[in-house]
Structure 1
Amino acid sequence: MKRSVLKSLPHALALAGLAALLTACGPADGSQDETKDTPRPVLTRTVAFEPRIAERSFVGVIRPRIESDLGFRVQGKVAKRLVNVGDVVKAGDPIATLDEIDLGLQAEQAEAELAAATASRAQADADFTRAMTLSKQGWTTASALDGRRAAAEEARGRLARAQRALALARNASSYAVLKADADGVVTSTSIEPGQVVDVGDVAIRIARTAEKEAAVSIPEAMVERARSATAKVVLWSDATRSYTATLRELSPAADAATRTYLAKFSVPSGGPEMRLGMTATVTLADPSAAPIVRLPMTALFNQGAGPSVWSVGPEGRLTAKPVTVAAYEAKDALIAHGLAEGDRIVTLGVQKLDAGLPVQAVDSLSF
């Protein structure tokens, strides 16, 4: 009998422990459990849509879209240089001159040749007219008439050549004055008074101010995006104003040292405040990318019907919202559909929550 009592002792102890556990789980006064009606604090985040691809910014330099090297169209000795580096010029303004003595002599020579050709033609035409009259009267031969006709034609050709030579000489005289071909600013000079220059030698460089551009170096991973992205330019000297820019030129080959591609963005709205050489920030954004909501991975749960999130309603009750995930990143999920701007989403402990559960939302500052 002693052995049977010892054998039943463990069962008795187990039943006693279970009874004590059940007693401890219930309320001390025997009332109903009220924990379900007590709001549970949860960490939430307010939904805010943003571009799927973040904006990328690059440092650029303001340059002129067109920078021309101007030179004389005739050979000669520089008489005057009328501008200096930094001077603003208008189209048609004289910027340098050549010594016009030799050019003037060439023009006078062309005028004298024109006068001689004019007189020669008049004499040839008169001889031809007389030969025709004598031929009709039978006093001269046909070969003599043909000779007078050929002489008259040759005289007319010489006159035309003399007229063209005079026009060229006068043009050459006008080329002695080098003029600006557009509004701009002088960026460099290569001539000084007394210097002899040849045809086409670079004399003065002018940067046109009609349209400016921002030149930046683009990494190869951003080349295709640069072609389709919208660009804006902000000057470092005035960060409160931005300018719309358009990609004008993209280098087909990478720089050998930096392995980047030179991109030039035209800024047609740039005014006088946008000076050449200024530093600017060029920001690229993809206009075709649909906006997304970025949530931490801990905000998602799946109860067999696809990814969902808990949304806190205006009365503090939880509602499950199915969502469409556009992509997963290292720590975040990019939500494409299923949420609205301003929704409050639970971001932590979602596996321990149930629909309709009262909660107290606590905004999270960062993730």
Structure 2
Amino acid sequence: MRPILLPLVAAAAVAVAACSKTEPAPEPVRAVRTITVAADSAGGVQEYAAEVRARTESRLGFRVGGKLVRRQVDAGSVVKAGQVLAQLDPQDLRLGQDAARAALVAAQANHDQTLADYRRYKDLRDQGFISSAELERRDTALKAAQAQLDQAKAQASVQGNQAAYATLVADASGVITGVDAEPGMVVGAGASVVRLAHDGPRDVVFSVPEDKVGLVKALAEQPGRFKVRLWGGGAPIPATIREIAAAADPVSRTFVIKADIGKAALDQVRLGQTATMLVEMPKTVGVSKLPLSALKEEQGRTVVWVVDKASMTVKPQPVQLAGADGNEAVISGGLAPGQVVVTAGVHVLNPGQKIKLYVDPGAASAAATAAAVSAAAVTIK
């Protein structure tokens, strides 16, 4: 009888164990870094990477096509107005000029002959030997010869200009900032050969995102808001906004802004020099600043985790962002001074989760050592 009962008892124990509910593991108490919210003011200075450029930069090319046989300048060359920059093979252009000159000589000879004939026929008509209709035909031939002569003169002038266009000269003094063609290349009319930055005013060019364009436009009307700091050192240079792009750059999706630094600073800057545009932002009071690590995006809202000191739990709190000040987010609403906000580990927290304040082991060890030393000193006394 006993051997039969033992298997039944074992089966019943297994069934009871299977039906019993397993208790879930307690949620871990997470250690978090926190910061206490305090009333603050936002403003300061925003910095944008910039570059010094010439107010006017031309892409110079030949007005006729041909083979480039010589280039007398390189990138960085300083040139004067009228200086020769490059040369095309002029052989075909000179042949065209010679042909135009020959056509001009032929047209001149034809005009002279037609004019002499007209004068003779006019004398004959005055004497009554020919009719007026015949004289009118000679007059028409003279006018046609005159038109052909004018056409030949114009064509000769064009061919003379074409031959002169084989030499590329600088139309202004400045610095060669780029070279787009090498000797031996066949270039078309108007194709860029060199880029020339004209001497004169300099611009500091920088880009801002589209949400800052309106602010820059507003600040541009206030003097003293923009300054340029050259990476080479020196005191900041005052600048004024001269031009704001009407459309975003198709690649970076930012708006290009050009600032004028005035003639007084021309001796301090060099073309292509790297600079930083300093934009003094207006002061805003009654805001709070939090590290960027304290923010979390949730269902299209920006939230932070607020600590309930009584229960040592956290809850999400929506906030309103007013921008950034350096590496800190400016909060314009949703928080009150004195609240404690989690600044690290925000993506692993849940509403109502138990937390504890993080204590730096190094700081705790230093505090313990200081306490031990203090206690030892008291004991010795």
Do both proteins adopt the same fold according to a TM-score greater than 0.5, normalized to the shorter chain?
Answer: yes
For normalisation by structure 1, the TM-score amounts to 0.60
Give the secondary-structure state (helix, strand or coil) at the position aligned to 2:226: strand
Give the secondary-structure state (helix, strand or coil) at the position aligned to 2:122: helix
User: Within the alignment, does 1:134 sit opposite 2:128 as a pair?
Assistant: no
- 1:244 maps to which residue? 239
Aligned counterparts of 2:80 and 2:246: Cα–Cα separation in 1:
31
- Could you tell me which of 120, 130, 145 is aligned with 2:135? 145
The answer to whether the Cα contact below 8 Å between 1:114 and 1:162 also exists between their aligned partners in 2 is yes
Give the secondary-structure state (helix, strand or coil) at the position aligned to 1:79: strand
Give the secondary-structure state (helix, strand or coil) at the position aligned to 1:238: coil
What is the CA distance between 1:62 and its match in structure 2? Answer: 1.7
- Could you tell me which of 262, 265, 278 is aligned with 1:268? 262
Q: Map Cα deviations across residues 98-124 of structure 1 (whole Å, 9 max, x no partner).
A: 122222222222222111111111111
Aligned counterparts of 1:264 and 1:223: Cα–Cα separation in 2:
13
Aligned counterparts of 2:274 and 2:181: Cα–Cα separation in 1:
30
Report how many residues are paired: 247
Q: Which of the two has higher C-alpha Rg?
A: 1
Which ranges of structure 2 fall in alignment gaps of 5 or more residues?
1-40, 220-224, 289-331, 338-381
What is the CA distance between 1:254 and its match in structure 2? Answer: 6.2
Give the secondary-structure state (helix, strand or coil) at the position aligned to 2:190: coil
- 1:83 maps to which residue? 73
What is the CA distance between 1:235 and its match in structure 2? Answer: 0.8
- Could you tell me which of 114, 117, 121 is aligned with 1:124? 114
- 1:341 maps to which residue? none
The answer to whether the Cα contact below 8 Å between 1:117 and 1:158 also exists between their aligned partners in 2 is yes
Percent identity for Structure 1 against Structure 2? 32
Aligned counterparts of 1:282 and 1:178: Cα–Cα separation in 2:
37
User: Within the alignment, does 1:167 sit opposite 2:157 as a pair?
Assistant: yes
Mapping of 1:269-348 within 5 angstroms?
269=263, 270-285=265-280
Name the CA shift for 1:243/1:88 in 2 (closer, same or farther; >3 Å). farther
- 2:86 maps to which residue? 96
Which ranges of structure 1 fall in alignment gaps of 5 or more residues?
1-50, 298-327, 333-367
Name the CA shift for 1:331/1:55 in 2 (closer, same or farther; >3 Å). farther
Q: Map Cα deviations across residues 337-362 of structure 1 (whole Å, 9 max, x no partner).
A: xxxxxxxxxxxxxxxxxxxxxxxxxx
Q: Map Cα deviations across residues 232-266 of structure 1 (whole Å, 9 max, x no partner).
A: 21212123241323231324236665x53222223
User: Within the alignment, does 1:187 sit opposite 2:177 as a pair?
Assistant: yes
Aligned counterparts of 1:79 and 1:245: Cα–Cα separation in 2:
44
Aligned counterparts of 1:91 and 1:160: Cα–Cα separation in 2:
34
Mapping of 1:106-117 within 5 angstroms?
106-117=96-107
Partner amino acid, structure 1, of 2:228:
V
- 1:69 maps to which residue? 59
Q: Map Cα deviations across residues 180-218 of structure 1 (whole Å, 9 max, x no partner).
A: 122222122232223222212221122224222222221
The answer to whether the Cα contact below 8 Å between 1:234 and 1:243 also exists between their aligned partners in 2 is no
Aligned counterparts of 2:214 and 2:107: Cα–Cα separation in 1:
67
The answer to whether the Cα contact below 8 Å between 2:42 and 2:287 also exists between their aligned partners in 1 is no
Q: Aligned Cα RMSD in Å? A: 2.8
Aligned counterparts of 2:82 and 2:217: Cα–Cα separation in 1:
37
Name the CA shift for 1:233/1:127 in 2 (closer, same or farther; >3 Å). same
Q: Map Cα deviations across residues 307-340 of structure 1 (whole Å, 9 max, x no partner).
A: xxxxxxxxxxxxxxxxxxxxx98789xxxxxxxx
Aligned counterparts of 1:255 and 1:145: Cα–Cα separation in 2:
70
Aligned counterparts of 1:203 and 1:219: Cα–Cα separation in 2:
34
Name the CA shift for 1:137/1:73 in 2 (closer, same or farther; >3 Å). same
Aligned counterparts of 2:287 and 2:155: Cα–Cα separation in 1:
83
Aligned counterparts of 1:134 and 1:256: Cα–Cα separation in 2:
80
- 1:234 maps to which residue? 229
What is the CA distance between 1:96 and its match in structure 2? Answer: 0.2
For normalisation by structure 2, the TM-score amounts to 0.58
Mapping of 1:30-49 within 5 angstroms?
none
Partner amino acid, structure 2, of 1:169:
Q
Name the CA shift for 1:119/1:53 in 2 (closer, same or farther; >3 Å). same
Name the CA shift for 1:124/1:72 in 2 (closer, same or farther; >3 Å). same
Aligned counterparts of 2:336 and 2:239: Cα–Cα separation in 1:
34
What is the CA distance between 1:283 and its match in structure 2? Answer: 2.2
Give the secondary-structure state (helix, strand or coil) at the position aligned to 2:239: strand
